[in-house]
Structure formats: C-alpha cells, structure tokens
Chains A and B, each alone.
Chain A
C-alpha cells in the first residue's frame, strides 16, 4: 500500500517557522543580513521575510472559538 503523504498540523508548522526565524535572527546567519557593508535596509528585508512566513502560516487556520 502506498504511504500517505504526511501533512504538518498548524502546531508543527508554527514551531518550524519560529525556529527558522530564530535561526535567521539569533544565529551567525545574522552575518548575512547585518554585515557591516550590507545595504541599510537589509534588516528590514529579513524582517519582511519573517512577516511573509507569518502570513503563509495563518492562511489555513480555522478557528473554533468564533461563534
């Protein structure tokens, strides 16, 4: 029987995205966007990537609390 594709639930997706953002902002990866000779707006670009990820995350969330 072929294996069913594994779908991430919203918690798993959120954890992965948060970890990714922490890696981008807190690890040595910050050397890429915060290099001394980088354009002045590069931190804002990194920030915009995080916002785009947030937008992707929340698209499929349905809420049971809303009446």
Chain B
C-alpha cells in the first residue's frame, strides 16, 4: 500500500490544525475548566517525554539491547516516585521566583550570568541531535509510506510546518505568568494519540500476526530464545547507567522541565502524575515486545526502528498505517514544539537579552514586543539548526543513539541540581568548572565521533583528540569528572554573600529577610525608574501586576509595601527576562535605601518561618528551646488582653488573638505592615498613643459601628540586650466598656444613697418655705382689699417657690443617671460647680452647721463630666462636714499649676488615723456607723478622678484636720479620640 507525499502532508496539516483548534478551544475557555486543569491532562502532557525514539526507536533498541530499553522509562519512574524530595522543591522554586527554565534555575542558584549562558549553550547543543532524530524518524516514515527517495524536500517541509505551529502554540503572545493551557492540552492529546496508536499496533501484532493470545503464547513457547534475548541484556548490559540517564532526563530535558514545572497549574497535579505518568509509560511500552516479535516473525525488510510502521502496513486496511503515521507525527511534533519553546526562552534570557537590552534601553523599544519577536525568530532558528544537524549527519543513525547523546548532555546538570537542592555550600566555581569539564568530555566522546562517522572530520586534528565510546560509558566518565570538579572547586572556592543567600533560598524554604526598603517611595518613582530599562508601557503594566499579586491598595502604600513591591516586581520580571537580568534591572533602577533598617518585623517573620519549615527536627536542647519559644509565643497569642508589638518603624511585629477580635484585623494581614494600615479609628488611637508621652491612657472613647467603646491603653518599651537599645513597643488594649457601665451604675446608687441621707434636711428646707407660703396666703385671704399687702405677699410667695424650686432642681440634677458612654467631655465652671455641691451638702443637718468658704476664682474651668465631678465634690465636702464639729470652717481653694487645676478642701475636723489612711480608697471601707455611709464614696471619687486623667491625694493628721487635693486637666489638654 503506497501513499502520495501530498496526501500525507495534507493529513499532517489537518492533524496539526486539529491540535490548534483544541489548543484554541482551551485558551478561549470553550472547553470546561475542570477538564483543562484536570491532573490527567497534566499527566498526559508529560507524555512529551515519549518522542519518535519511544514510538519507533524502542522496538529497535529492544532488538539490540533487550529489556534495557525499559530502563529509559524506569529511571523516569524513580524520578517521579522521588517527587516530594526532588521535583516538588524545584517546582516550589520555579513558582516562587518565576523561573521559566533550567538555565534560569541554575543561574539563580549559582548567582552567575555565565552559568546561565553555559547551561543554555549545552542545552541547545544537546537538543540538536534529538531534534535531528525526530526529523529523521518522520522523514523515514514518509519515505516508507510513499516510496519517495527525495528526503530533503520532505524533511524541510516538515520543519517549516512545525515552526509555524510552535510559534502558534508558544509565541503568539507573551504569557509569562499565565500558563499555555492550549499547549498543554494539545500535547496531552498528542500523547493520547501516541498511546492509542502504539497499543493498536500491539493488538494487531497479537491478533493479526499471532491470531490471538493463545497463538502468541505458543509462538513464545516455540521461540524461547526470543524472551531470553530480551532478558539477557538486563544482566550484561548498561542497565544501571541507562537508569541514571533516564532519571536525569525525566526532569532535566528542556521539554520535560517546561511541562513539569513551567506549565504546572497545581502542585497537587504532580502528586497525581507521580504514579499516573509512569503508568502511562508502562502502557505505552507494553506493546513493544509483541511488535518486535511480530516484525521478526514476518521477516520485514525494514530495520527494527520502523517495525511499528512495517507491522501496521501488513494489515489490509489503509487506516492503520495512516494512524501510525499520525502517531509518529504526534511524537515528533510534540517534542520539537515544546523543546523549541523552552530553548527559545532560555536563549532569549541568557544569550539575546543581555546583549540587546542595553541597546534597547537607549532606543526605548517596548520590552514585550522585543520578547515576542525575539522568541519567534529564535524558534525558527532553533528548528532550522536541528534540520541543519540532520543534514550534516548525512548517514542515518540509530534513533536511540541520537537520543542518548542528548540524555548524556542533560545528565551533566545532575551535580548542579543536587547542589541546588541538598548542598548549600556548592559554589559557582564548582558548578561552572564541573559543567565545562563534563561538556568537553561529552563533545570528545560522543559528538566528535558522530561527526567523524558522518565523514566531516576526515584529516581534521579534531579526529585525533576524540575518544569514541558508548553513550553509557561516556555518561559514566563525564559525570564522574564533572562531580569531582564540582565538589573540589566548591570546597576550594567559597561562596559569595549573594550565592549564600540564593543557596539558602534553594536548600531551605525561604530566602531570609531581604525586603530592603527602596529609595523610590511613590508609584511614579517606581515607574520612571523601571521605564528607563524596560519601557514605560511595560513598567506600568508590571507595577500594576505586582500590586495585584500582592493584593495591595494602590492608594494606601507604605514603605514596607514598597519593599514588598520591589521584590514582587523582581520575581515577575524573572518570568519575563530571567532571574539574572531581572535582578540587574531591579538593583539598578530601584535602588535600596541603605540608611533604612531591615524591619525587625521581617526578621522575626523570617526566623519564625525558617523554624516552622525546618526540614530537620530540632533535637534535645535546641528542641527544648524551640518548645519554650513556641510556648511563650502561644501565651502572648492566647492572652485575653489585646496585645500588639510594634517596631520603631511602626511596623507590626506580633498581633494576638484578642487584638484580632477587638479590631477585626487578622494577624496575617497585619504582620510586617505599618500600623497606619489598620482601619480607622484604631490606627489613629494607637499611633497617637505611641507618639505621646503617657504610658497609660484611661477611658479613651472610640466610636465603633455607631457604638462607643471605652478603652484603657498601656504601653511599654521593648528593650534590647544593650543599654538604651530599644527594639519597639508593646501596647495592651483593655476594653473597659462593661466595667465603665458597672461603675456608672454604682455611682448612681451611691448618689441615691446620699439623697436618702439628705432626706431630713430636704424635708426641712422645703417645709419652711411651704409654711411661709401658707401664712402669706392666709394673710391675703384675711385682708383681701389691701392691694399693697397683696403685692408684697405675692412677691414673697414667688421668692419662696423659687427657693423650693432650686432645692428640687439640685436634687434632681444630682440624682440623675451619670453621663452615658459616648458622652463627650464638657467644660465645667469650677466655682459654679462648688456652689452647687455646697447647696446639696448644706441640705443635710450636719452641713448646715458648717461654715463653707469657697475661694475658687471665677475664671477657672475644667474639662470632664459635670455630673461625676459634682459627685466627687459632694463626697469630699460631705466627708469634711461629717468630720467637723458645729461652727467649724471648711475652706475650698483652687489654683492653676502647669496646665493642671489643683483643688484643695481643708477641714479642721477629727482627721484620719494614720493606720487606715492607705485603706480609705478601698471599696466598702468606712469609719462611719452602719446606715450613715456605704463605704463607696471615696472609692468612686478615686475612680472618677482617674478616669478624668487626674489624681486625688489625702493628707490628714489625727484631731488636727484633713486636706484633700484633687488635680485635674485643664480644657484643651485632654486626649481627644
């Protein structure tokens, strides 16, 4: 059965067109997201590992090396099984630092642009034989199906077609942080096609050639050598070295790295792939022995590398060979497309941009367009280089030989990767020297002999230096020397400070407190800084993206936010232009303010996270100390009192549970942030308190959701080890609202009790004028015609009713419930208030017998709650009159001193015994007889004065008298919230 070249080309174009439709459907969200992001799609997309080598070449390798061909997939199984300690840490780094290729990753770890260049060049060189392999396989399959001998036209046509689709899939637009969902689903579809095609040939081999499983079994019984031939090389062949090579290729080949790490949407997909991907490979390879034996039993004229196609052509149908051809196209196109996309990104970041970015800086070209066009051109050049390599070789090579050359090339990165993950002392010199030695030996042992075999080194001096050996032997020697140089040079040349930081970031889970404060402190300064290198449009977009990534509010950015923004921009730019250039751009254009301290909040966060994430469990004393640290931290966290620790730069260092409950702001949202980021009125309250001199602030009123809360605030400096060293402040907030309410109720009860005690005096005071009014009324009734008397009587009656009214008003006013929560302080005229209190005290029998002298100047005013302050005066004056005897004087003086009003009440009464002087402010302590006092008076007075930010003192001498001194704030000196 023969086909025309144009027919197969048309089929190829239609098939690739179908892939493009599938990719577009995924990108345009026509396909359900649950399907696109399903782990099975991710797993199938990793099937890009199976190229033409697997599809066609596995049968050839099985024929030559027996079951050794399975090692190419068993190494992958081991790598994926080790995913929690091998692939996951790499995935974390690529996600956190936006690293889009192996060159980015290694250049980031070893902090060297040269490392990136070296890795890119070796990757590129190593990929060329592999791409040549794909072109050769497709060309061979086309030649067999068409019987066409002119292979040049066929292979060039295939390359140009693949270039078009590679650009369409991977370089249509710049998507550094978005994943190429279309590419992933298209590659997954291709993997499915490969699997179904190969399994179909396998089934055809069993049922079509051997007439079913029984025929297959009896053929094996008759040909016992067939199984032995497959088993024997496991014992004799390079089994272990093949396992090692495929282990490294599983995640280091450019296409594998791209699909596993760069295109990963969810980390959990990797868990799924850790068993599902090896299962896919097992299913893909289970058909290989039946196909090999079917080909051998048919005695096909093609080499075993093309048995898959040859067996299918024995079927009478044209569909099976076409399906196998499409499977082959799938294998080759997927490899070339993903490899070129990955290599283009590497070449862009490590070869092209370092040269073109400085020029571009002067010309002011937009970075995005430079990237997109650069990538397109690079894709074309890389595919053409692969084609040139294919032409260059001329003579046909075994497919697996070409593939193994690439495997040995990428295996040279293994020492570097193990240094990256597990040895934080590995240095740049170690990595670079090891890689150079390994790469040179790879060229001498594998590449030069390949050229020599193709007839390109005849009479060349290079022919003298080449040392031909098998791929597995080459892998052993190159890796051995590479590792020796890597370890030796790392020990001889210690790391730089930047390398050490990068090593810490890679080996541990975080990089340390690197949130340095930038000089630029506005968005405009950030934009103009970045615009100089990456263009104004790109700069604006990148800043917007970083703000959105950090979930910040552009209008409310503080210095710590700008520090985080600088780091985020660097990470994001790393996804676009690689970590080395991103670091250079950010360091040059967004300079760090060297005078600004790294915030203590960052340091504490870093230490906390490091300890939490530590891979090694802390032992013995370290473990005990860690437990103690956690205990103290937990105590602070669970404290029922709201507590916040703030650095000298006003950044929040710790934020406990009660603080979360009180303010509604979570610990996570506040740690490391400026305290001014807290919502109003909290930020103002805490900041004013921090900036003020007072260590205690009582009864601050704040309005929360139309409800007034009363808070007491306390602060203390957090001192360091050295003298006068201060790290910050700790602030405690106590919600006093409920206690305040109870105190108000108690004060009201005490007032009512006082009124009860005044009742006799009140009755007397009201009774007298009432009697007078009655007498006057009787006189007016008796002499109705005396107009003058009538007039005088009416005036007297009015005076007497006024007197009654004043007494009643005073009582009512005094007994009124105290100011409610939320009542704002008022200005109180002191003299007037003293007069009012004297009027009340004089209602009592005792009060009438005392001579009160009010020396308070008219102009003195106070700020506070009139009702409460009146109560204090009534308590103090009642005590004074109770202690005095009939005819004694009680003097009230008031003066202004240092913005404070000092009020003194002096009596010459019985005084207070020195033994009980320290108890008189205790609640329910009284020296009076039962029924004469509650023992709450002075206790309440003390609380009221403290609440008004003042103080009360009592000096007394037994039998000589007592002086009560009250100091209160003048209006305008209170803390207004």
Please list the residues of chain A having a beta carbon within 8 angstroms of any beta carbon in chain B.
10-11, 14-15, 17-18, 21-22, 25-26, 30-31, 34-41, 43-44, 47-48, 50-55, 57-58, 61, 63, 65-66
Contact of B81 among A18, A36, A48, A61 (CB under 8 A): A18
In the complex, chain B residues whose CB is within 8 Å of the CB of A43: 67, 70, 234
Q: Whole-angstrom distance between the alpha carbons of A10 and B268 in the complex?
A: 14
B74 near A14: Cβ-Cβ < 8 Å: no
**Interface pairs A-B: 5 shortest CB-CB:** A54-B275, A63-B267, A55-B275, A58-B271, A65-B267
A57 to chain B, nearest CB (A): 7
Q: Whole-angstrom distance between the alpha carbons of A55 and B232 in the complex?
A: 30
B272 at the interface (CB under 8 A from A): yes
Q: Can you list 16 A-B pairs, Cβ within 8 angstroms, ordered by A?
A: A10-B84, A14-B82, A17-B81, A26-B243, A31-B235, A36-B232, A40-B226, A43-B234, A47-B77, A50-B81, A51-B275, A54-B81, A57-B274, A58-B272, A63-B268, A65-B91
B673 to chain A, nearest CB (A): 20
Q: For chain B, residues 738 to 752, give those with C-beta under 8 angstroms from any C-beta of chain A.
A: none
A65 near B227: Cβ-Cβ < 8 Å: no
In the complex, chain A residues whose CB is within 8 Å of the CB of B285: 44
B228 near A47: Cβ-Cβ < 8 Å: no
B227 to chain A, nearest CB (A): 5
Q: Whole-angstrom distance between the alpha carbons of A65 and B97 in the complex?
A: 13
Contact of B231 among A26, A34, A55 (CB under 8 A): A34
In the complex, chain B residues whose CB is within 8 Å of the CB of A44: 282, 285-286
Residue of B73, B279, B286 contacting most chain A CB atoms (<10 Å): B279
B243 near A25: Cβ-Cβ < 8 Å: yes
In the complex, chain B residues whose CB is within 8 Å of the CB of A37: 224, 227-228
B684 at the interface (CB under 8 A from A): no
Chain A: which residue is nearest B80 at the CB level?
A54
Chain A: which residue is nearest B273 at the CB level?
A58
B289 at the interface (CB under 8 A from A): yes
Q: Whole-angstrom distance between the alpha carbons of A63 and B70 in the complex?
A: 31
A58 near B286: Cβ-Cβ < 8 Å: no
From known contacts A30-B234, A35-B231, infer whether A50 and B272 are also in contact, taking CB-CB under 8 Å. Answer: no
From known contacts A11-B84, A51-B279, A63-B267, infer whether A18 and B231 are also in contact, taking CB-CB under 8 Å. Answer: no
B235 near A34: Cβ-Cβ < 8 Å: yes
B235 near A14: Cβ-Cβ < 8 Å: no
Q: Whole-angstrom distance between the alpha carbons of A62 and B289 in the complex?
A: 39
Chain A: which residue is nearest B220 at the CB level?
A40
Size class of the contact patch on chain B: 35 or more
In the complex, chain A residues whose CB is within 8 Å of the CB of B224: 37
In the complex, chain B residues whose CB is within 8 Å of the CB of A17: 81
From known contacts A58-B272, A63-B267, infer whether A18 and B279 are also in contact, taking CB-CB under 8 Å. Answer: no
In the complex, chain B residues whose CB is within 8 Å of the CB of A36: 227-228, 231-232
B617 to chain A, nearest CB (A): 9
In the complex, chain B residues whose CB is within 8 Å of the CB of A10: 84
B275 near A22: Cβ-Cβ < 8 Å: no
A58 near B274: Cβ-Cβ < 8 Å: yes
A41 to chain B, nearest CB (A): 8
A26 near B239: Cβ-Cβ < 8 Å: yes
A66 near B266: Cβ-Cβ < 8 Å: yes
Q: Whole-angstrom distance between the alpha carbons of A22 and B247 in the complex?
A: 12
B267 near A66: Cβ-Cβ < 8 Å: yes
In the complex, chain A residues whose CB is within 8 Å of the CB of B73: 47
Please list the residues of chain B having a beta carbon within 8 angstroms of any beta carbon in chain A.
67, 70, 73-74, 77-78, 80-85, 91-92, 95, 220, 224, 226-228, 230-232, 234-235, 239-240, 243, 266-268, 271-272, 274-275, 278-279, 282, 285-286, 289, 615
B67 near A51: Cβ-Cβ < 8 Å: no
Q: Whole-angstrom distance between the alpha carbons of A66 and B232 in the complex?
A: 46
In the complex, chain A residues whose CB is within 8 Å of the CB of B267: 63, 65-66
Q: Whole-angstrom distance between the alpha carbons of A21 and B67 in the complex?
A: 17
Contact of A65 among B80, B83, B92, B232 (CB under 8 A): B92
In the complex, chain A residues whose CB is within 8 Å of the CB of B271: 58, 61, 63
A66 near B268: Cβ-Cβ < 8 Å: yes
B413 to chain A, nearest CB (A): 20
Q: Whole-angstrom distance between the alpha carbons of A22 and B82 in the complex?
A: 11
Secondary structure at the B interface, as helix, strand, loop or mixed, is helix
B74 near A47: Cβ-Cβ < 8 Å: yes
Q: Whole-angstrom distance between the alpha carbons of A37 and B82 in the complex?
A: 32
From known contacts A18-B78, A25-B74, A30-B235, infer whether A40 and B230 are also in contact, taking CB-CB under 8 Å. Answer: yes
B84 near A61: Cβ-Cβ < 8 Å: yes
In the complex, chain B residues whose CB is within 8 Å of the CB of A61: 84, 268, 271
Q: Whole-angstrom distance between the alpha carbons of A53 and B83 in the complex?
A: 13
In the complex, chain B residues whose CB is within 8 Å of the CB of A34: 67, 231, 234-235
Given contact pairs A14-B82, A55-B275, enumerate 19 new A-B contacts (beta carbons under 8 Å): A14-B81, A15-B85, A18-B81, A25-B78, A31-B235, A34-B234, A37-B224, A37-B227, A37-B228, A38-B227, A38-B231, A44-B285, A47-B282, A50-B78, A54-B80, A54-B81, A54-B274, A65-B92, A66-B267
From known contacts A14-B84, A36-B231, A40-B230, infer whether A50 and B92 are also in contact, taking CB-CB under 8 Å. Answer: no
B243 to chain A, nearest CB (A): 7
From known contacts A14-B84, A36-B228, infer whether A21 and B275 are also in contact, taking CB-CB under 8 Å. Answer: no
Residue of A35, A43, A53 contacting most chain B CB atoms (<10 Å): A43
From known contacts A14-B82, A30-B235, infer whether A54 and B278 are also in contact, taking CB-CB under 8 Å. Answer: yes
Q: Whole-angstrom distance between the alpha carbons of A14 and B85 in the complex?
A: 7
Chain A: which residue is nearest B615 at the CB level?
A11
A51 near B84: Cβ-Cβ < 8 Å: no
Q: Whole-angstrom distance between the alpha carbons of A57 and B85 in the complex?
A: 12
In the complex, chain B residues whose CB is within 8 Å of the CB of A48: 282
Residue of A11, A41, A54 contacting most chain B CB atoms (<10 Å): A54
Q: Whole-angstrom distance between the alpha carbons of A11 and B81 in the complex?
A: 11
In the complex, chain A residues whose CB is within 8 Å of the CB of B91: 65
B666 to chain A, nearest CB (A): 17
Q: Whole-angstrom distance between the alpha carbons of A50 and B247 in the complex?
A: 14
From known contacts A11-B84, A43-B67, infer whether A51 and B282 are also in contact, taking CB-CB under 8 Å. Answer: yes
In the complex, chain B residues whose CB is within 8 Å of the CB of A41: 286
Residue of A21, A51, A52 contacting most chain B CB atoms (<10 Å): A51
Q: Whole-angstrom distance between the alpha carbons of A61 and B270 in the complex?
A: 11
Residue of A35, A41, A63 contacting most chain B CB atoms (<10 Å): A63
Residue of A17, A18, A35 contacting most chain B CB atoms (<10 Å): A18
Q: Whole-angstrom distance between the alpha carbons of A57 and B285 in the complex?
A: 24
In the complex, chain B residues whose CB is within 8 Å of the CB of A18: 78, 81-82
Chain B: which residue is nearest A35 at the CB level?
B231
B833 to chain A, nearest CB (A): 63
Q: Whole-angstrom distance between the alpha carbons of A15 and B285 in the complex?
A: 27
In the complex, chain B residues whose CB is within 8 Å of the CB of A21: 77-78, 81
In the complex, chain A residues whose CB is within 8 Å of the CB of B272: 58
In the complex, chain B residues whose CB is within 8 Å of the CB of A65: 91-92, 95, 267
Q: Whole-angstrom distance between the alpha carbons of A40 and B268 in the complex?
A: 35
Q: Whole-angstrom distance between the alpha carbons of A66 and B264 in the complex?
A: 11
In the complex, chain B residues whose CB is within 8 Å of the CB of A40: 220, 226-227, 230, 289
In the complex, chain A residues whose CB is within 8 Å of the CB of B234: 30, 34, 43
In the complex, chain A residues whose CB is within 8 Å of the CB of B70: 43, 47
A50 near B84: Cβ-Cβ < 8 Å: no
Residue of A10, A26, A35, A38 contacting most chain B CB atoms (<10 Å): A26
Q: Whole-angstrom distance between the alpha carbons of A36 and B231 in the complex?
A: 6
In the complex, chain B residues whose CB is within 8 Å of the CB of A47: 70, 73-74, 77, 278, 282
In the complex, chain A residues whose CB is within 8 Å of the CB of B228: 36-37
B82 to chain A, nearest CB (A): 5
B241 to chain A, nearest CB (A): 10
Q: Whole-angstrom distance between the alpha carbons of A44 and B286 in the complex?
A: 7
Contact of A26 among B226, B230, B240 (CB under 8 A): B240
A59 to chain B, nearest CB (A): 8
A21 to chain B, nearest CB (A): 6
Contact of B77 among A15, A26, A51, A58 (CB under 8 A): A51
Q: Whole-angstrom distance between the alpha carbons of A51 and B864 in the complex?
A: 79
Q: Whole-angstrom distance between the alpha carbons of A21 and B83 in the complex?
A: 14
In the complex, chain A residues whose CB is within 8 Å of the CB of B279: 51
In the complex, chain B residues whose CB is within 8 Å of the CB of A54: 77, 80-81, 274-275, 278
